[in-house]
Structure 1
């Protein structure tokens, strides 16, 4: 086994030497002290979902945000991104798969850093689920060589530990009492998982831009989880039987560590989680949750029944009979006690290729158990789980969607199989299973903005000549440098940092269409559906699961003159996107108005795309981000939509419409039917 340490078998062994070896569980990552660190404020000229914020108050949009006008901060740069699987792959280190790391397993031995302190050897950490963004090999390549030394922005301006502490403060998860004592709720669980993902993606972006320098092999997933746990950012720490506060049936997780930090399933590897209860004079183990992800011979084809295989059966690398101990014994005791057990199903993450998505399928009871010969000829314990009736659909919905995609199942209420008539790379169904409405009013489907006249640039912008695609940290690429020295997206198309603006490659750039810096130009990343809601007209949702930060679509239509926008008739009112609207904060005393670089107003009345069907919500799951594409002395401003957190299939996609900057704003008030706990009762 490769351990990361060099050895010389010819050296004599000192058998008298006493070694001080600690168990793995006693080791903790050591991070530089942050004493005296003080984050700076940052310029902010748009509607990003988070920061920068004033000291002490920095909640994530849509919870609240505030404007800053001066200063500079690393915290501007923080979030994820999706891209077609056949897209150009940026050269990456073996640990740069989107912050997920290698899928190799090891024993997590400590190593010494330059200070002599023990730290984790990331290549040896045990990890059982990762995001697979590419094969990790260098391919393609830029037409320029990446600059090294002092031109590397990572080593000069960006510090990972400062960045993660800024994010923790922004989410109000730093300087407070540890969350281990708190019982979770929907808001807290969402913030903790989102914080973990922001940390992971930002660390990946910084690490990716640091080629061949010390620390370039940082494992973003492990760095993020270590930081989260070290700072006490965890909830529902007390194990419990039954539902977990703040987590609903159908919720999805892209990392097992996400389940761990919110109390859904504590083990990062084991499939059975259990607690000990007092039974007569002895403690008795009872199962609280199981993860069925394909590691064992489970049978999960039936949506309401799971035949779960016990754990174990391997000793010193050899197959053997499973024993009725630990998790297996807990399942047996739960059978006799008839307590409910949480079931999490692992399904293949089609977008990443090899990763897993974990779906909370609700509460089950164990109805029977037995032992049988497994494929290797040894005894395996089997447990029959049956789903408790009356719960919302989860895994059965995923199976139905698979059938719709394969054409073997019927989607009820389909009006059109593809609303776009082939304009988009993926079809968009038009569905109504609510009433007799036959479809929205006529419009021409277009996938992008239509400009009569682009905006002028005071200074012509240079185009890039990266014929193999833009590379992270390339000091010679003007597009990368306009983004602060980083690529804004990961290879899956998740936006990696929240900045005032994203600068994508423009029409005159020589990079290919599948360059990672053309993410919003590559079309839809998920299979969407326009559907009839019960009380809000038409809405938008996805057949596919959407990971946090994923690009969904841009807002397409006709760019209109701002001076004439208010003069449009009432029939246009529901199809106007105004980038200059204000977004009122919740926790900070500021007008919270976005300041985009150009006054962009879009009408999707006559031509548009799926974005025109997105409804308002006071607690949205989608946010918009300004994207600039420059071409010589002209620039084109676009509006791209990204997911805030993970979004399960068939959940409506919504964003906050904001408040118009107009004296007639009050006249445009409409009753809000978003149904969220934070609903204001109206929107504009």
Structure 2
């Protein structure tokens, strides 16, 4: 039993990257099993990762904070809690270290998952009255027998005796989570007191009073509720204090993009022309030839609905492993380029191979930050693999040496405010990559596009005068969004679009970050 302390900034980045890689592997493996028809793909993925030693901190039992897991991090599956070492039970609410691994010879609790499912539970955030485990049917609320001081209950009692802090994860119902649940890590608590006596059901229950340790980051669950209240206010056409505009895009996005500043009087985001998407030149047409439709000429339904190559030429161009997107619109895996159906295709706008064309699906805002000047943060929960937004600006054509070949109307002739698509690291390789795990032979076909270089963009974006909100996304070496090149139908392969997808589960009010390749 150890406490893990991380002090150096470089070490924080390293352990955060380890946690992210473990979660990426879990999500990739879970996705493969889910597409294969497994009803509990999350638990099957966990079993695979446990058997292959891919879960973190299994060889040590950590008391206190888990390196690389931050207060406010959210998880869609309990299995994920085990993958990162935050909790060690698939069903039980109390995670503990057994007596034979503790020098004092007594079990010690290290974490609890609180769902508020017991009649005697009470929670105001800073103080949690937690009813111990046992004494009721698995899916019941009322106790039908007395609880006993055994297993997790006994471990919590010894955590109180020895002053051992306990990690608290709160479970919330969430319609936008694929599991219909959301697990929010709310930090460390101390067991302040214990009582044993009749509960509201009349049976004896163990009640533990847990008090949050001061000095931690704000409660993730409190932030979650604050974000929900904020979005309800904004949806009611009310401009809360600190908001300089309710929609930076002036209706050009399908969802409003508010701007918030409670730091100073800087209004610079309002001083440029907003363009929701770049204006790319059309593909070249050879003299004397007519451009032919390449897919879906006679389609009446959406393309790419099955995990076979199918009849859609656009889907087939995406390489092995089937369609680019899952049924819920999340990206299956990163690719050198994703080929979506385009304007000359016959499939409808609802086609599952047109995800980015439907625009933003999550509420975001530009905000003033004391740490990063201006930034962008989520107002909704964003699932990993979900489309976030397009990176927009004026298109400036360049030659192979990076020199200007032509300028778009209104573009700057100087290099200030230039975004070069070639400078973004290939973070897309990390998304959907299950290569760390050895999967059964009946798993889906591995991708055949792994060695493809993909198109080489022959343009840069000038964001100095006209842009959308994406250039305000901050840089990070451990980002939570990544760039995926996307082409549509017969689009010009020299001008792939820069689409941003979520790499992590991004909770409300969490800042977005991207790896711009700074220093490369």
Who is 2:224 aligned against?
398
Who is 2:461 aligned against?
602
Who is 2:445 aligned against?
none
1:609/1:235 CA distance change after superposition, 3 Å: same
Who is 1:148 aligned against?
none
User: Do residues 419 (structure 1) and 252 (structure 2) align?
Assistant: no
Who is 1:69 aligned against?
none
Give 1:313 deviation, angstroms.
1.8
1:214-613 aligned at under 5 Å gives the runs 217=38, 220-237=41-58, 238-277=60-99, 283-297=105-119, 299=121, 302-314=124-136, 319-352=144-177, 355-371=180-196, 378-393=203-218, 394-407=220-233, 413-440=242-269, 442-454=271-283, 460-464=292-296, 465-470=298-303, 471-473=305-307, 475-484=310-319, 486-534=322-370, 536-562=372-398, 565=404, 573-581=415-423, 583=425, 596-613=455-472
1:31-42 aligned at under 5 Å gives the runs none
Give 1:332 deviation, angstroms.
2.8
TM-score if structure 1 supplies the norm length?
A: 0.60
CA distance in 2, matches of 1:236, 1:632: 47
Alpha-carbon deviations, 1:93-138, whole Å to 9, x = none?
xxxxxxxxxxxxxxxxxxxxxxxxxxxxxxxxxxxxxxxxxxxxxx
Give 1:477 deviation, angstroms.
2.4
1:460/1:224 CA distance change after superposition, 3 Å: farther
CA distance in 2, matches of 1:650, 1:250: 10
TM-score if structure 2 supplies the norm length?
A: 0.78
Say whether the 8 Å CA contact 1:508–1:632 is kept in structure 2: no
Aligned CA RMSD, in angstroms, stands at: 3.6
CA distance in 2, matches of 1:632, 1:246: 41
Give 1:376 deviation, angstroms.
5.2
User: Do residues 198 (structure 1) and 28 (structure 2) align?
Assistant: yes
Deviates more, 1:481-490 or 1:267-276: 481-490
Alpha-carbon deviations, 1:249-307, whole Å to 9, x = none?
22222222222122210111111011244899983222110001354447565221222
1:281/1:395 CA distance change after superposition, 3 Å: closer
Deviates more, 1:432-441 or 1:561-570: 561-570
May I ask how many residue pairs the two structures share in their alignment?
Answer: 463
CA distance in 2, matches of 1:397, 1:421: 28
Who is 2:434 aligned against?
none
Deviates more, 1:263-272 or 1:601-610: 601-610
Partner-residue secondary structure (3-state), 2:499:
strand
CA distance in 1, matches of 2:124, 2:165: 19
Say whether the 8 Å CA contact 1:404–1:410 is kept in structure 2: no
Partner-residue secondary structure (3-state), 1:580:
helix
CA distance in 2, matches of 1:347, 1:571: 51
Partner-residue secondary structure (3-state), 1:516:
coil
CA distance in 1, matches of 2:139, 2:465: 65
CA distance in 2, matches of 1:625, 1:316: 44
1:315/1:367 CA distance change after superposition, 3 Å: same
1:383/1:425 CA distance change after superposition, 3 Å: farther
Who is 1:73 aligned against?
none
Alpha-carbon deviations, 1:302-321, whole Å to 9, x = none?
22122222211236999333
CA distance in 2, matches of 1:281, 1:243: 20
Partner-residue secondary structure (3-state), 2:56:
coil
